[in-house]
Amino acid sequence: GESVGLHLPTLSVQEGDNSIINCAYSNSASDYFIWYKQESGKGPQFIIDIRSNMDKRQGQRVTVLLNKTVKHLSLQIAATQPGDSAVYFCAENMDSGGYQKVTFGIGTKLQVIP
Amino acid sequence: EPEVTQTPSHQVTQMGQEVILRCVPISNHLYFYWYRQILGQKVEFLVSFYNNEISEKSEIFDDQFSVERPDGSNFTLKIRSTKLEDSAMYFCASSVRRLNTEAFFGQGTRLTVV
């Protein structure tokens, strides 16, 4: 079964509102969690990551929250813009014995309503 | 802004044929990766490459797959005898450091096996 998954396949948000995209993971040994943005016809684009020893990290208009107790990851986008419309997916990275294993989630499609 | 470039953007091949997907990573990057994304499914890690050898590979990366860095700029993925289930979007990525969370992705090559 999948170790990383997303609760909502599609999220529609009014322009200017905040967006919250959620992700559940199951591997408590993961070191890093990453959020990617994938626009139609393009490759994944790194947005932000967070180490497992942190619970919050902020970037430009984005914030990632990590709740290890319930194995939950979220991406908050402030003042959502039409250019934010894309598929967002999380990934977990485990560094084990010098080897890295990255597992991706399926994704949530964010639709921004102008 | 430097970017990872992939060619071709779309490749159609007959089942059983060999294909080579090409990538030009960002010039000062040292770590190179291939991922695939079957239509409608999650991104899957295939292989990572460093110092002219494979550093990690997934269970997907079987004997039908090989990677090569034939010169100082190209990074290729070869599939020896394509199967229908190899149809997917293949993404190349590169990073400066070993941590693949910082990887930059190319726009992908869509492989269609008929």
CA nearest to B90 within chain A: A43
Q: Residues B90-111: pLDDT tens digits? A: 999 999 887 666 789 999 999 9
pLDDT for residue B70: 87
Percent of chain B with pLDDT over 90: 78
Q: Do A43 and B102 touch (CB under 8 A)?
A: no
Report the pLDDT averaged over residues B18-36: 95
Report the pLDDT averaged over residues A53-62: 96
CA nearest to A36 within chain B: B101
The alpha-carbon gap from A112 to the nearest alpha carbon of chain B, in Å, equals 21
Cα B19 from Cα B22, distance rounded (Å) = 10
Across chain B, mean pLDDT equals: 92
pLDDT for residue A97: 66
DSSP summary character for residue A82: G
Question: How far lies A34's CA from each of A4, A98, B61, in Å?
Answer: 11, 19, 23
CA nearest to A50 within chain B: B101
pLDDT for residue A4: 52
Model confidence at A6, in pLDDT bands (50, 70, 90)?
A: very low
Closest CB from A45, A89, A103 relative to B105: A45
Res A99 pLDDT > 90: no
Compute how many other C-beta atoms are within 10 angstroms of the C-beta atom of residue B113: 19
pLDDT for residue B111: 98
Report the pLDDT averaged over residues A45-61: 94
Q: Which of B81, B89, B100 is nearest to B42 (CA)?
A: B89
The dihedral over CA atoms of B107, A24, B100, A55, expressed in degrees to the nearest 10, equals 120
pLDDT for residue A1: 36
B74 burial via Cβ count (<10 Å: 0-12, 13-18, 19+): middle
Closest CB from B42, B48, B107 relative to A105: B42
Chain A residue numbers with beta carbons less than 8 Å from the beta carbon of B106 are: 43
Percent of chain A with pLDDT over 90: 68
pLDDT for residue A7: 46
Report the pLDDT averaged over residues B48-75: 92
Q: Which of B79, B82, B108, B88 is nearest to B37 (CA)?
A: B88
Closest CB from A42, A89, A100 relative to B42: A89
- Choose, out of A10, A31, A40, A46, the residue to mutate when testing the contact with B (most B CBs < 10 Å): A46
pLDDT for residue A2: 39
Across chain A, mean pLDDT equals: 88
The alpha-carbon gap from A108 to the nearest alpha carbon of chain B, in Å, equals 11
String of DSSP letters for chain B: ----EEE-SEEEE-TT--EEEEEE--TT--EEEEEEE-TTS-EEEEEEEETTEEEEE-TT--TTEEEE--SSS-EEEEESS--GGG-EEEEEEEESSS-GGGPEE---EEEEE-
pLDDT for residue A41: 82
Q: Do B101 and A99 touch (CB under 8 A)?
A: no
- Choose, out of A104, A108, A109, the residue to mutate when testing the contact with B (most B CBs < 10 Å): A104
Q: Do A2 and B42 touch (CB under 8 A)?
A: yes
pLDDT for residue B14: 97
Cα B44–chain centre separation: 11
Tokens matching residue B101:
């969370």
CA nearest to A35 within chain B: B101
